[in-house]
Structure 1
Amino acid sequence: MIEVTAANMQELLARTLAPTQLEVIDESGLHAGHAGANGTGFGTHFRVRIASPMFEGRPRVARHRLVYDSLQTFIDNGAHAIAIEIL
Structure 2
Amino acid sequence: MSEKGPVQREMEELLTAAFPDAKFILSNDSASHHGHSGDDGSGESHFSLAIEWPGFAGQNRVARQRAVNKALGDLPGQRVHALAIKATAPGE
State the TM-score bracket (shorter-chain normalisation).
Answer: 0.7 to 0.9
Give yes or no for contact 1:4–1:74 (8 Å, CA) kept in 2: no
TM-score (norm 2): 0.80
Q: Distance in 2 between matches of 1:4 and 1:58?
A: 31
Report whether the alignment pairs 1:28 with 2:30: yes
Please list every run of 5 or more consecutive structure 1 residues that lacks an aligned counterpart in the other structure: none
Contact 1:7 1:24 in 2 (8 A): no
Partner residue in 2 for 1:58: 59
- In structure 2, the partner of 1:45 is 46
- Identity score, percent: 32
Cross-structure match for 2:80: 79
Structure 2: which 5+ runs fail to align? none
Aligned to 1:68: 69
Residues 26 and 61 of structure 1: CA distance in aligned 2, closer, same or farther (over 3 Å)? same
1:36-65: CA deviations, max 9, x gaps?
Answer: 10123x111011110112211111110011
8 Å CA contact 1:43, 1:79 repeated in 2: yes
- The CA RMSD over aligned residues, in Å, is 1.8
Aligned pairs, number:
84
Q: State the 4+ residue runs in structure 1 displaced beyond 2 angstroms.
A: none
Deviation at 1:26, TM superposition (A): 1.0
